[in-house]
Structure 1
Amino acid sequence: MNPVDRRPSGYEPSRQLRLDRTNGKVFGVCAGLANYMNVDPLIVRAVFVVGTVFGFGTFLVAYLVIALLAE
């Protein structure tokens, strides 16, 4: 197992974008996106933090929209 990838062996990524409330921190948006793209949730969270700081809150608005629209 790759040290960056913390998913169990045999893990199959989701084919639909779904919130991952079990592995998520706030609404499960970043964990759900990470499952969908098959990457580590920490990377997605870091992208959202950097995007929010340098994008003047644009990523924060996108995060809230995804949290409201995704299942």
Structure 2
Amino acid sequence: MDIILKNVKKKDFPVLKSLAKSLGFEIVEKEEKPYNPEFVKEILEGQKDIREGRGIKMTIEEIKALCK
């Protein structure tokens, strides 16, 4: 059986970890991975370009035509 604890406060984690160890449970910590830095950079550059007027406006029909 697996039990997943989410949103555990840092101050409570050592207590839960020691309790689990004393009961013989296996502890697996899984860190959430942040976004890929290159992806974040591209998104931020795109937003900056739009703010500075370097974007283009397209209608839905023009976008659909590109997808054909």
Which structure ranks higher in relative contact order (CA pairs < 8 Å, sequence separation ≥ 6)? Answer: 1
Work out which of the two has the higher radius of gyration on C-alpha atoms and give 1 or 2.
2
TM-score by length of 2: 0.29
